[in-house]
Structure 1
Amino acid sequence: MYRGSLTDPVRLALAGNEYGSFQLVVAPFWKDLQDVSVSFSQLKGPRGTVVSADSYRWSRVDYVRLKGIDPRDFSARAYEPDPLMPADPFAVPTGEVRAVWVDFLLPPGTPEGIYRGTVSVASGGQTVTRKVEVRAYGFDIPKKSSLETDFWFSLYQWNWFYKPLNYTPELHARHAEVIGRYRVSSIPNDWITLCPQVPIYVEPEGKFTFDWTTLDKYIQNGLKNGSTAFWSALSCNSGWTAWMNNPNVQVTERATGKKVPLKKLIEGKSQYENPAYRDFLTAYVQHLKDLGINDISYYELFDEPNDNSRWLQMIEHHTFFKQFAPDLQLLCYGIDPLQLKAGKSAIGLIDAWAPHLTYIDGAVDKAIKERREKYGEKYWSYTCGEHRDKDGNYSPYCRYDRPYISTRMHFWFAWHYQMDGFLIFAMSGLPDENKKDNPAERWPNSDWSDGGYRGCGTLVYPGPDYQLIPGMRLANAREGLEDYEYFAVLKKSAELLDPAQDAALLAEVNKALEVDKDILSSMHVWTKDRSRLEQKRAELAGLIREVMSITVPQKRLTGIPASSRRREPPLCAPASP
């Protein structure tokens, strides 16, 4: 039950380049509402500064049906809100309610101050208006995430939804623009879709060459929209390695233009001797270097190699990679430097360690950081399901039936452990119940079913006209990534302070850069209180402004005394996400 005010302004506190979100609930009292629409005024700030109404974006909240809910469990809900549908007029029958999700992006460079405007909901000639107040902190966070991310955006399952999906760089550009609004990487991780779009040639002298033109369009779409990592194998267990060793793949003879199966050109060769595979690896690494992204491109061939057989296969193939293509960046989820299987260690064969978040303890954390310091190996982590302790406490994940703060908290853990990258599995899964032959029966004309997975694998949805539909959990992931930026901006800004002259302030900064115990105590014990995170963000924002008042020319900060700046209470929307 909503217990907030019905008259107070919706309040947000933001840095430039940051989104703030809030919800509105539309409830008819006497008759059905038709053609409900939402509109916004511009926001007016200090000294005549104006923020355009174009900074707003709204969506209608839709619901997901949870499969297998026990009807005797009154704490469980059969439907959970998540999909954020396009901003089209909608109806609300009497006796029901509809929720509207609003995103507001504070433009970079917005001067510090309070900006005031309104949001209005209209239907049938009547309008209800609510005030909006946005506190601009007067500094920006980076437009692109400081933390590398890749949530495995793939399309092959969506073929079973659309039947078929003929994916192109032009369609991907639309999808990448949406995903980019959530600060998450959007380059597809989908070998079934992308590998066939890279023509392979065999030259007269027998060398294999590759036309990267179309693949580059996907990569550039992602980079343009803030992607910070690329799963270069285009898969977690097969990808390019499977494609370049597939005897049925068609290769064009450069001299004749004739297409021939790869089998004729590699027959009798092992995968390690396969000249097409070898030429691919050499050309691919060089191309990634030419694009300037090799250091954020990760080739994964053995995801979670938990049994001895797969572990030994991984050791063998990674040894080949290191000998033949030493600059190929290798990552396998589920591996840390302390693991030993069948008497073999992965040390020297991994460029980015990525243990599951729930498997990180003090020893694993220390071992990865030591290798990063000594060898430059990166520190990634991931979640693919939640874990519970003996008391029933659960680790962060993106389940529909958990508080949305659970998704947001991933990135507080990422800062706590000082990670380089993070995966939430996964972006675009399709539970079987949503595969329908008749287009008229497809979602959103019918319920979206979670398939019993409770959100595992699905953060976006395939919408009408090939739209990509984001969700509330993805929006909360963005909020966590923005939280991460407050820490990162403070840390970077404080590097310019004088260690002697600013010793007291540096001590305060260093303390604030730690995640407080009441926010994050252990993998299973962390705050569910959104206001506590907002309080910490306000503390970080105050310190950023104080540090910048010393280190940055006073173009935007107002000169309010640091003591009063830092002790301002955080502002939260009355109906918070």
Structure 2
Amino acid sequence: MQSLAPWMGILSWLWAAAVAAHPTPPAIWAESAMVKVRPETPPRFQPELELTAARNEFASFQVVLHGGSAGLRSVSASPPGFEGRRARIHGEDVLLYREALLDITTPTPPGTAGRWPDGLVPDVDEVVGEKRLAFPFDVPAGESRALWVDVHVPAHAPPGRYSGGVRLKGAGFVASVTVHLQVVDAVLPSTSSLRSAFLLWPPHVCRAFTGDPLCPVETQVRLLKRFHRMALEHRITLASGFPRQVDQPTWDLPDYDTFASRWGPFLAGRAPNRLSGARMTAMQYLGPGNGASLAEFQSQAEARGWLSRAFDYVGDEPPYGTSWAEATARAGLTRTVAPRLRTLLTTTVTELENHGLLEDIDLDTVLVNFIDGTLPPYVGNQRPKYDDFLSRPGRELWLYQSCASHGCVPGEPPLPENTPGQGWPSYMVDRSAAKARGMQWLDFVEGARGELYYQTVGLLSTAWTTQFRFNGNGDGTLFYPGLPSIIGGTTEVPLPSLRMKLIRLGMQDYEWLKLVSDAGDPGYARAVARQLIPHAWAVPDDGAAFDRARLLLIRRYQQLRPECAGP
């Protein structure tokens, strides 16, 4: 049989010659926030984009560049200003980032290896306002790269239609994309209606920014203030983000006046922030586990207006992270010496009842896999089981997600729920944008008043190169370290991940669900949410479905409040 090798060589040469004779031009287009742009994303034609937002809401979109056959060199961009009939949105209300790629070698089951967008390098950072190294950059031939644009609609912006364009230039080209923004006559609150306790371990911050996990308290204070600002601008609260004594799990607390001078502005809504007046919605007690310290904290927190948001985390996932005996003892102590300080435990109401803790736990914080599950004993909708507990004064249901949504142990078979088009909500890098936006919709439909996330800086020190932890990429890491050696400038700052932007979109979706409910149609809000996510394990991958559902809520709110229908 004659070898095909010579013919294959000729065909390859002919193909290369054809490509050279007909090169693919570069492409630049506007894209929604709900697409994760990977290098292999193909070019498309979409020179314009339509957005809708309330006042005091963030609207986000992307600008995507495909290199074509030759690539693009020395690309830079200018942030748009949005012009309306009576006002302009510009300056610090419009931020531009270059999306960095994380090279994933071990995917989150059942994900795909390769390069995924996640880190965001700002043109001008939102914390200290320094020019950074987002630009210029190159786009390799045959690959795509993306920019992320945040637009904060000022609370005083007149309703109406605004238009703006992102201008791009590089070696041999100038281009632009146009975005139209419809501002509706509604105002989102600066402080999130859904409470959150996203936790932060300061030694991880120290390691990332100083190389030593045991950095001085003064350094912790300086860095953590920047983290709190970043979190509040993304509508989440770093409930444990306070300095620790060096090499100790308890907080550094010289006295409560010093604590209040450092952290009171974040708790009271006086800290600088584009969301003017944004306050922390949760605060974890981090002092010694003795009666005197707990009682003093209750007294101080009550006097300073913090107590309604404070909690004592009495145990974690007993019997695994904490024994039932330890959780019972701590809850009993807190209830005795600080009865107005609320207690939080990560478990189910069934386990609370089995261990005699129904009277001692205020915030029952339940794994999302156990509120509407697929495995015994939590198959199906478990929410009615919580009604009696929630009828008691001061009781709340909170939800959280964990590695249980993808499998915590390498080598385990992928969860059957996580198939294309559906799956558990997930804050992993190598999941669809929709998965990161879905949790807050579930918080709403299940009647949860808050959301817990166990860690936000777990692998902060290696975030630019690897975040693989507990069998997931990004598990427990939502920030990036903005070191001058990496992003330019002179001041170190925390940087948001693309996932934090998507979480903020979910938090804003929660506000729209609540607005429609409070305006008189909670049934409609629940129906829209359930149509989008019929089960906790069935979050779709279709990002556009989230945008469509949100627009349904906006239109219904305008019907319920005709004075807010706008021009």
Give the TM-score band, short-chain normalised.
0.7 to 0.9
- Structure-2 residue corresponding to 1:527: 540
Q: Which one of 13, 18, 26 corresponds to residue 52 of structure 2?
A: 13
CA distance, structure 1, for counterparts of residue 46 and residue 355 of structure 2: 65
Deviations 1:122-173 (A, max 9, x none): 2347421111101112211112110001111232123333223443434333
- Structure-1 residue corresponding to 2:158: 111
CA distance, structure 2, for counterparts of residue 85 and residue 375 of structure 1: 46
- Structure-2 residue corresponding to 1:23: 62
- Structure-2 residue corresponding to 1:278: 291
1:324-403 equivalences under 5 Å are 324-333=337-346, 335-339=347-351, 344-361=355-372, 364-387=382-405, 390=416, 392-393=418-419, 394-403=423-432
Shift of 1:538: 1.3
- Structure-2 residue corresponding to 1:58: 96
CA distance, structure 1, for counterparts of residue 352 and residue 99 of structure 2: 47
| Alpha carbons 1:15, 1:106 under 8 Å: kept | yes
Shift of 1:293: 1.8
1:294 is aligned with what amino acid? L
| Alpha carbons 1:187, 1:227 under 8 Å: kept | no
SS at 1:401's partner residue?
Answer: coil
| Alpha carbons 1:61, 1:101 under 8 Å: kept | yes
- Structure-2 residue corresponding to 1:458: 477
- Structure-2 residue corresponding to 1:291: 304
CA distance, structure 1, for counterparts of residue 417 and residue 144 of structure 2: 36
2:52 is aligned with what amino acid? A
Matched, 1:176 2:228: yes
Cα distance change, pair 5–531 in 1 and its aligned pair in 2 (3 A): same
| Alpha carbons 1:353, 1:368 under 8 Å: kept | no
| Alpha carbons 2:83, 2:162 under 8 Å: kept | yes
Q: Which one of 472, 478, 483 corresponds to residue 504 of structure 2?
A: 478
Q: State the TM-score, normalized to the length of structure 1.
A: 0.75
| Alpha carbons 1:35, 1:91 under 8 Å: kept | yes
Unmatched runs of 5 consecutive residues or more in structure 2? 1-39, 124-132, 373-379, 407-414, 484-490
SS at 1:299's partner residue?
Answer: strand
Q: Which one of 307, 316, 324 corresponds to residue 311 of structure 1?
A: 324
| Alpha carbons 1:43, 1:53 under 8 Å: kept | no
Cα distance change, pair 309–173 in 1 and its aligned pair in 2 (3 A): closer
| Alpha carbons 1:118, 1:131 under 8 Å: kept | yes
- Structure-2 residue corresponding to 1:214: 259
2:473 is aligned with what amino acid? R
Matched, 1:77 2:113: yes
Deviates more, 1:349-358 or 1:279-288: 279-288
RMSD (CA atoms): 3.0
Shift of 1:515: 3.8
- Structure-2 residue corresponding to 1:258: none
Unmatched runs of 5 consecutive residues or more in structure 1? 200-209, 235-239, 243-276, 436-442, 495-505, 560-577
Shift of 1:221: 2.9
- Structure-2 residue corresponding to 1:541: 554
Shift of 1:186: 3.0
Cα distance change, pair 30–524 in 1 and its aligned pair in 2 (3 A): closer
Deviates more, 1:461-470 or 1:93-102: 93-102
1:428-467 equivalences under 5 Å are 428-430=457-459, 434=461, 447-451=465-469, 452-464=471-483, 465-467=491-493
Q: State the TM-score, normalized to the length of structure 2.
A: 0.76
Cα distance change, pair 368–189 in 1 and its aligned pair in 2 (3 A): farther
Deviations 1:464-521 (A, max 9, x none): 0431011111111111111111011122233xxxxxxxxxxx5xx6334434544112
Count of paired positions: 476
Matched, 1:323 2:336: yes
CA distance, structure 2, for counterparts of residue 398 and residue 413 of structure 1: 14
Shift of 1:216: 4.8
CA distance, structure 1, for counterparts of residue 558 and residue 203 of structure 2: 46
- Structure-1 residue corresponding to 2:412: none
Cα distance change, pair 381–187 in 1 and its aligned pair in 2 (3 A): closer
Matched, 1:91 2:137: yes
| Alpha carbons 2:366, 2:400 under 8 Å: kept | yes
SS at 1:156's partner residue?
Answer: helix
| Alpha carbons 2:118, 2:497 under 8 Å: kept | yes
1:214 is aligned with what amino acid? F
1:92 is aligned with what amino acid? D
- Structure-2 residue corresponding to 1:424: 453
Cα distance change, pair 67–41 in 1 and its aligned pair in 2 (3 A): closer
CA distance, structure 2, for counterparts of residue 223 and residue 119 of structure 1: 36
SS at 2:350's partner residue?
Answer: coil
- Structure-2 residue corresponding to 1:412: 441
CA distance, structure 2, for counterparts of residue 30 and residue 536 of structure 1: 38
- Structure-2 residue corresponding to 1:246: none
| Alpha carbons 1:405, 1:530 under 8 Å: kept | yes
Deviations 1:68-114 (A, max 9, x none): 359xx997223221011121322205425432111111122433322
| Alpha carbons 1:198, 1:215 under 8 Å: kept | no
Cα distance change, pair 380–39 in 1 and its aligned pair in 2 (3 A): same
Shift of 1:428: 1.1
Shift of 1:347: 0.8
Cα distance change, pair 424–186 in 1 and its aligned pair in 2 (3 A): closer
1:217-228 equivalences under 5 Å are 217-221=262-266, 223-224=268-269, 226-228=278-280
